[in-house]
Amino acid sequence: MPGTVTIDALGTFATVLVTERNASDFARELLVAELTAVDLACSRFRPDSELAAINAAPGRLVRVSPLLADALAAGLEAARLTDGDVDPTCGLSLVRLGYDRDFAMARTDTSPLRQPPLPGGNWRRVIFDPGRREVRVPGDTLIDLGATAKARAADRAAARISAELGCGTLVNLGGDISVAGDPPQGGWLVGIADDAGFDSTARTMTPSQLIVIRDGGLATSSTLGRTWRRGGVRLHHIVDPATGLPATSCWRTVSVAAATCVDANIASTAAILRGERAAGWLEGLRLPARLVRHDGIVRAVAGWPVGVRTESSPAGVIS
């Protein structure tokens, strides 16, 4: 059995598995170091984060760290690849919806919303020079790197731990999974959960399907994971940039496998937003995906395994 460590980080759980059981403690130290650095660079909720600093300096050119530059590049590339469906400039949209602080705290406020929804769509107006690591944010924009930063953190952490320990590594950040190095014999067994909520854990979730991955990344986007109520209205965190409202989708959950966790996350989030068009879009990109409708009907595309395999227990990993 691989060595396994789970901690709380980035507003979710973080699990690292390594093929060398004796390396678990060192893997944990590396994971904590990587995620602490990501939080300090990319958090929308920490007043001392780099992201908070650039959001507080509208219209000014700000030089950023290599880590934040990497995260900004991923967020803006996501917008470009999806024609703005996955938009890092929806921060104010989320604030208007009540997601204005750490989610565990934001969900406790059930009072009616006081402001109308605010669309995003300002990603083309963000000036970013990756070579000089300089960024200028428009005055009416709040950057939220959200899921892409978490997925990029999974990729970074898995690569770093594998390189420094010289062993196979899997990192799972709340459903964003990245693997690096040589996997265990037979690959990493990963459970896919269709109806996981924010309070779900690997111990409480029942996987609907088990799959094996050996490299790359896997991400699941869901309209069920981060939900809250304001004034009796149910909201979720995947925002349609065109309206500033939670996306209305035929899919409740989309899981995608790709070369990296960032790529998988971009595709799974865009699929929720694209609704019925998503299956054909993913098929065209040859990205294996599992799309689940609200009634539980599953559609698998681009070679995603068909059928339900649940006869074995996953190695402590649920997506």
Q: What percent of the chain has pLDDT over 90?
A: 80
pLDDT of residue 102: 87
Domains of the chain: 3-301 (3.10.520.10)
pLDDT of residue 307: 67
- Say whether pLDDT at 198 is over 70: no
Q: What is the pLDDT of residues 84-128, one digit of tens each?
A: 999 999 999 999 999 988 888 888 999 999 999 999 999 999 999
In 10 A of CB 284, how many CB atoms? Answer: 10
pLDDT of residue 2: 76
Separation CA 123–CA 79 (nearest Å): 7
Separation CA 139–CA 68 (nearest Å): 20
Q: What is the pLDDT of residues 147-173, one digit of tens each?
A: 799 999 999 999 999 999 999 999 999
Cβ-based neighbours of 78, under 8 Å, separated by 6 or more? 86, 88, 148, 262, 266, 269
What mean pLDDT comes out for the span 44-53?
Answer: 95
Provide the whole-model pTM: 0.93
Nearest partner of 71 among 138, 141, 156, judged by Cα: 156
Instruction: Tokens for 109, please give them.
Output: 């406020």
- Say whether pLDDT at 319 is over 60: no
Q: What percent of the chain has pLDDT over 70?
A: 92
Cβ-based neighbours of 146, under 8 Å, separated by 6 or more? 44, 88, 237
Q: What is the pLDDT of residues 24-40, one digit of tens each?
A: 999 999 999 999 999 99
pLDDT of residue 199: 59
Confidence of residue 294 (pLDDT cuts 50, 70, 90): very high
pLDDT of residue 12: 86
Nearest partner of 254 among 239, 241, 266, judged by Cα: 266
Confidence of residue 137 (pLDDT cuts 50, 70, 90): very high
Separation CA 12–CA 10 (nearest Å): 6
pLDDT of residue 210: 93
pLDDT of residue 313: 53
- Say whether pLDDT at 317 is over 80: no
Confidence of residue 206 (pLDDT cuts 50, 70, 90): confident
- CA angle 153/154/156 to nearest 5° reads 60
- Say whether pLDDT at 203 is over 90: no
Q: What is the 3-state secondary structure (H, E, C) of the chain?
A: CCEEEEEEECCEEEEEEECCHHHHHHHHHHHHHHHHHHHHHHCCCCCCCHHHHHHCCCCCEEECCHHHHHHHHHHHHHHHHCCCCCCCCCHHHHHHCCCCCCHHHHCCCCCCCCCCCCCCCCHHHCEEECCCCEEECCCCCCCCCHHHHHHHHHHHHHHHHHHHHCCCEEEEECCEEEEECCCCCCCEEEEECCCCCCCCCCCCCCCCEEEEECCCEEEEEECCCCEEEECCEEEECCEECCCCEECCCCEEEEEEEECCHHHHHHHHHHHHHHHHHHHHHHHHHCCCEEEEECCCCEEEECCCCCCCCCCCCCCCCEC
